[in-house]
C-alpha cells in the first residue's frame, strides 16, 4: 500500500511525512514547480498483533506495512501541462492520497495565497486533478475515434468508448471520478492502468495548531477528513517511547498520529487485517474488504491458493480470550473450518490447509 502525501506549498506535507515515518527531512523549503519525492515504509501499529506476539512468543513478529511518499511540485496551474512526465507518473502510482491542507496561521511561513482558507485550498488541487483527468479522457476518446474503423473487435471498442464518454460527462460537471456510483468493479479495474487521479481515494488532513480543528465539509465517496497538529507530532516522532508518552500526555494527545492516520488509511482503501501465527512468526496481512479465504491464502503464498483445501478460522478476540490455546477455541466451536468462498473478517486468525 503506497499513499502519496500532497498539498499546496507551505501546507506541512513534509512535517506530516516526518510525523508518520519518524524521518527528519528539512521543512520550510519552497519547491513550487519542482518535483521532489521522498518515501519511507513504516509498520502498521496493531495492538492485536502485539498481543499475539505475547501469546505465541515467536522468533519474529511481522507487521503489515505502508509506504508514504512526500510529493513536492503540486500547485495551482500544474495541470496546464496535463501533469505530464515524472510528476503524473509518481501520482499515478499511488493507491491513494493524503491531501495536507493548511489550517494554521504563521507569519514566519506566509501562505502562498496570502490567507488561510482550507476549503479554497482543497478546491485548488481538486480542480487540478479533475482537469488533468479530463484531458486524459478526451485524449483517449480522440484516439478511440481514430481507431474505430481499424479495430476488429467492434463490441469491445464500443464498450470502452461508452465508458469514456461517461467519464467525460462526469468530469465536465466538475465531479471527481471516485463519485461515479455506476462504475462496475470490472470497469474500475480496467481504468486503473490510466492512473486517473480523481478516481483514487483521498484523506483530507487538516494541519492545525489548535486542539480543536476547523470544520470542513467534503461530501465525496471514498474520501474522509482528519485533523492533526503535525508540528507537535513530528517532534514527538523524534523522541524515544518513554519521552513521547510524556509529551503526548502533556498535550492531551491520546494516540500517535501515525496510528490514527494509518487506521483511516485502511478505512479509506477498504482494507482489513488478518493474522497467521506460529512458533517462527506471527504476522499481520492486508486484504481488501470482501476478500475470501482463497484470496487470503494467495496473499500468504501462491502455493496456498493453488492447492487450497480449507482454512481454519479463529476470531482474534476468541483466541486472545483463550490465551492462544487453539484446543480450547476448537472445543468451544470458536475455530471453524471454512471453504474457499468464506469472506474474511477483520481480525481473523487463519491457518490454511493445502496440497500442491
For the segment 79-94, what is each residue's pLDDT rounded down to a tens digit?
665 565 778 888 999 9
Contact 264, 66 (CB under 8 A): no
Pairing relation of β-strands 96-103 and 271-276?
unpaired
Q: What is the pLDDT of residue 83?
A: 60
Name which of 68-77, 90-99, 269-278 the model is least confident about. Answer: 68-77
Per-residue pLDDT at 29:
55
- Percentage of residues in the chain with pLDDT exceeding 70? 96
Q: Residue 274 pLDDT more than 80?
A: yes
CA dist 95 and 288 (Å) reads 13
- Does any domain span residue 128? no
Name the residue range of residue 312's domain: 290-354
CA distance 306 to 329: 28
What is the pTM for the complete model shown? 0.87
Residue 18: strand, helix, or coil = helix
The answer, yes or no, to whether residue 290 has pLDDT greater than 90, is yes
Residue 178 lies in a domain: no
Domain-embedded: residue 131 = no
Confidence band (pLDDT; 50, 70, 90) for 138?
Answer: very high
φ, ψ at 337 (rounded to 5°) = -90, 120
pLDDT of residue 303: 96
Domain with residue 319: its CATH number is 3.10.20.30
User: Is residue 50 in a domain?
Assistant: no
What is the pLDDT at residue 261?
85
The per-residue pLDDT for range 308-346, each reduced to its tens digit, is 999 999 999 999 999 999 999 999 999 999 999 999 999
Query: What's the structural domain count of the chain?
Result: 1
Q: Is 45 helix (H, G, I), strand (E, B) or coil?
A: coil
- Mean per-residue pLDDT over the chain, rounded: 90
Asked, for residue 335, whether it belongs to a domain, the answer is yes
Tell which wins on pLDDT, 249 or 136.
136
Q: Is residue 330 part of a domain?
A: yes
The answer to whether 103 and 82 are in contact (CB under 8 A) is: no
The dihedral through the CA atoms of 251, 253, 254, 255 has a sign that is negative
Amino acid at each position: 500500500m503506497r499513499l502519496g502525501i500532497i498539498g499546496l506549498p507551505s501546507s506541512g506535507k513534509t512535517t506530516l511525512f516526518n510525523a508518520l515515518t519518524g524521518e527528519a527531512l528539512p521543512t520550510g523549503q519552497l519547491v513550487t514547480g519542482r518535483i521532489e519525492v521522498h518515501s519511507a515504509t513504516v509498520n502498521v501499529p496493531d495492538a492485536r498483533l502485539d498481543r499475539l506476539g505475547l501469546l505465541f512468543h515467536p522468533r519474529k513478529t511481522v507487521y503489515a506495512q505502508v509506504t508514504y511518499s512526500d510529493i513536492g511540485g503540486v500547485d495551482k496551474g500544474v495541470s496546464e501541462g496535463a501533469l505530464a512526465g515524472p510528476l503524473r507518473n509518481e501520482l499515478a502510482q499511488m493507491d491513494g492520497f493524503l491531501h495536507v491542507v493548511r489550517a494554521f496561521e504563521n507569519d514566519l511561513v506566509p501562505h502562498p495565497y496570502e490567507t488561510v482558507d482550507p476549503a479554497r485550498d482543497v478546491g485548488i488541487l481538486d480542480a487540478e486533478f479533475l482537469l488533468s483527468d479530463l484531458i486524459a479522457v478526451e485524449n483517449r476518446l480522440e484516439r478511440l475515434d481514430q481507431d474505430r474503423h481499424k479495430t476488429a473487435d467492434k463490441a469491445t471498442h464500443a464498450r470502452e468508448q461508452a465508458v469514456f464518454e461517461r467519464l467525460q460527462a462526469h468530469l465536465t460537471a466538475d465531479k471527481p471520478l471516485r463519485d461515479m456510483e455506476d462504475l462496475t468493479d470490472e470497469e474500475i479495474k480496467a481504468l486503473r492502468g490510466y492512473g486517473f487521479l480523481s478516481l483514487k481515494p483521498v484523506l483530507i488532513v487538516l494541519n492545525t495548531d489548535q486542539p480543536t480543528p476547523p470544520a470542513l465539509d467534503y461530501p465525496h465517496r471514498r474520501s474522509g477528513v482528519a485533523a492533526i497538529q503535525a508540528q507537535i507530532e513530528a517532534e514527538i516522532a523524534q523522541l524515544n517511547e518513554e519521552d513521547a508518552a510524556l509529551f503526548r500526555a502533556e498535550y492531551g494527545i491520546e494516540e500517535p498520529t501515525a496510528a490514527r492516520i494509518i487506521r483511516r488509511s485502511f478505512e479509506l482503501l477498504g482494507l482489513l487485517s488478518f493474522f497467521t501465527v506460529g512458533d517462527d512468526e506471527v504476522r499481520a496481512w492486508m486484504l481488501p474488504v470482501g476478500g475470501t479465504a482463497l484470496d487470503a491464502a494467495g496473499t500468504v503464498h501462491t502455493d496456498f491458493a493453488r492447492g487450497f483445501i480449507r482454512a481454519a478460522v479463529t476470531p482474534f478476540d476468541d483466541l486472545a480470550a483463550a490465551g492462544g490455546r487453539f484446543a480450547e477455541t476448537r472445543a468451544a466451536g470458536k475455530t471453524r473450518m471454512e471453504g474457499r468462498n468464506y469472506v474474511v473478517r477483520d481480525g481473523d486468525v487463519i491457518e490454511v490447509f493445502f496440497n500442491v
